[in-house]
Amino acid sequence: MSPAADPSAAEDRAVEAARGGDVAAFNQLVQQYQGIVYNVALRTLGNGEDAADVAQDTFISAFRAIREFRGGSVKAWLLRITVNASYDLLRRRKRRPASSLDALAEAEDGELGVVDRTRGPDAAALGAETARVIQQALATLPDEQRTLVVLCDVQGLSYEEAAATAQVALGTVKSRLSRARARLRDYLAERGELPGGLRRPS
Amino acid sequence: MGPPVPESRTWVNPPKHLSTEWLSAYLDGVISPQEGDVPPAAEAHLQNCPRCADDLAGLDAVRTLLRRLPQHAPPRSFALQDIPEPRQVGIFRLPRMVAWTRAASAVAAAVFVLCLSLDLLGVGDDVAAPSAVQNRIAAPTVAPASVKAAAPAVAPGPQAATAVIFPPSVAAGDRDRGGLESAGSAETKIGTLSATPANPVADVIPTYRPLRLASIVAGILALLFLSAALFSGRRAAT
């Protein structure tokens, strides 16, 4: 394989150039990852405006801190910044009375603009009503569980990538993900969004 | 991998069922031999236990729904030329300016401390001595007045250090060289200096010893660079 055809080699070169202050090279990384960064923030925060702010902050912080990037997965590094910035925003939001964590649920019909159906693990996207209920369900999860379910199930990251992003052990990914899925299952089954009878017997 | 937590067990007892965590990991195909149970036994159980089969099916249904959540297109590009312009000041990029002003203020501060301590230790005395002697002729009675006059003109120099110029022994030893006349001229010199530094009187210059002058300049530069660094740092942070 020639170096030009290897995406990870191209990524390494972009990181190296960005370290030297090359904004254009860094923007190749922005181009590549802005979709997943925005969508992780969107599912974490439930609000398109906040997600766009967090995504922009993510890339500004990343460019400033690129010298501290120690190699490894650029995606996990960027998403780690995204998740931390989202947590910061959630904490600030908790101090304010009004919560907009499920604003996305109301806006799921397309107010957020184009729904990009070509991305994501499963191209056959859900109907707006189901997507709305799922976003509401995500909003009920504890932050650390929501993060892992967003990374692994919504964005299709491997356990290893999710562990690197959330900076937790693989075992923690496994247990938080299973608890998040179980909670979502109960929430969705109560609202008739799961195929009949799919609830853990009590 | 961390220490096993109760829920990470394959089997939940009693009754004997597969744990949700095991089923969730099984769904993702990440069950490893270290999990404490061999998949064949668990798979055999899944065949025969409706409760565990339902549990697994529920998790699978949730995962399928989550995977099918729509991905939204970003509302705009987050490429960095979209950063508001104030981050760029002419050819000086702010982060770089923060860096060099910080470095410059650190260097100036170091020079300030070095020069001042050398000066206080009296290293410069040898250099300044030949011409300074003329000032030292000042009688002890006149000396304090000269010090007072000199101190404000020299600015941040500590008064104690300035007094070193007039060691009583030296002043006393030189007294027989016509203390009165020299004392008068020393006072005039200091007076003229503070008023007009460009005074052509040649032997006035050594009154300012190079080390002290250097420490004053370095101190001022350190303060200037520090305020520039703080200012640009704040601009860069916003």
> What's the CATH number where A52 sits?
1.10.1740.10
pLDDT > 90 in chain B, percent: 24
Domain that holds residue A37: 3-190
Rounded to the nearest angstrom, the minimum Cα separation between B59 and chain A is: 6
Residue of chain B minimizing CA distance to A63:
B80
pLDDT in tens, B145-168: 444 444 444 444 444 444 444 444
Range list of H helices, A20-114: 23-45, 48-64, 74-95, 103-107
**A59: exposed, middle or buried (Cβ count in 10 Å: 0-12, 13-18, 19+):** buried
Report chain B residues whose CB lies below 8 A from the CB of A39.
71-72
Using CA atoms, how far residue A198 sits from A11, A201, A202, in Å, is 43, 9, 12
Query: Going residue by residue through chain A (202 aa), what tens digit of pLDDT does each one get?
Result: 444 557 788 899 999 999 988 999 999 999 999 999 999 999 999 999 999 999 999 999 999 999 989 888 999 999 999 999 999 999 888 776 555 555 566 555 444 555 554 444 454 567 888 899 999 999 999 999 999 999 999 999 999 999 999 999 999 999 999 999 999 999 999 998 887 555 544 4
Report chain A's terminal Cα–Cα distance, integer Å.
55
The closest of A148, A146, A130, A126 to A138, measured between CA atoms, is A146
ipTM for the predicted complex comes to 0.85
On whether residue A202 sits in a domain, the answer given is no
Taking the C-alpha atoms of residue A54 and residue A37, their distance in angstroms, rounded to an integer, is: 9
Most confident by average pLDDT, A127-141, B84-98, B177-191: A127-141
Q: Test A126 with B65 for CB contact under 8 angstroms.
A: yes
Domain boundaries of chain B, sorted by first residue: 6-67, 87-237
Taking the C-alpha atoms of residue B205 and residue B132, their distance in angstroms, rounded to an integer, is: 10
Residue of chain B minimizing CA distance to A62:
B80
Tokens describing residue B8: 């990470």
On whether residue A179 sits in a domain, the answer given is yes
Q: At what angle do helices B39-48 and B50-67 cross, to 10 degrees?
A: 100
Most confident by average pLDDT, A106-115, A172-181, B133-142, B177-186: A172-181
Taking the C-alpha atoms of residue A137 and residue A146, their distance in angstroms, rounded to an integer, is: 10
Residue of chain B minimizing CA distance to A37:
B74
Most confident by average pLDDT, A53-57, B94-98, B117-121: A53-57
Q: Test B21 with A174 for CB contact under 8 angstroms.
A: yes
Contact residues, A window 17-36, toward B, CB-based 8 Å cutoff: 21, 23, 26-27, 30-31, 34-35
On whether residue A68 sits in a domain, the answer given is yes
Please name the helix (run of DSSP H) or strand (run of DSSP E) that holds residue B92, with its range, or none. Answer: strand B92-93
Whether the CB of A201 is below 8 Å from some CB of chain B: the reply is yes
Q: Test B55 with A43 for CB contact under 8 angstroms.
A: no
pLDDT band at B11 (very low <50, low <70, confident <90, very high): confident
Residues 6+ apart with CB under 8 A from A142: none
Q: Answer positive or negative: Cα dihedral of B4, B6, B10, B14.
A: positive
Taking the C-alpha atoms of residue B167 and residue B172, their distance in angstroms, rounded to an integer, is: 9
The pLDDT value given to residue A154: 96
Taking the C-alpha atoms of residue A17 and residue A63, their distance in angstroms, rounded to an integer, is: 11
Whether the CB of A169 is below 8 Å from some CB of chain B: the reply is yes
pLDDT in tens, B16-38: 889 999 999 999 988 766 666 66
Q: Test B72 with A200 for CB contact under 8 angstroms.
A: no
Taking the C-alpha atoms of residue B96 and residue B99, their distance in angstroms, rounded to an integer, is: 5
- Number of folded domains in chain A? 1
On whether residue A197 sits in a domain, the answer given is no
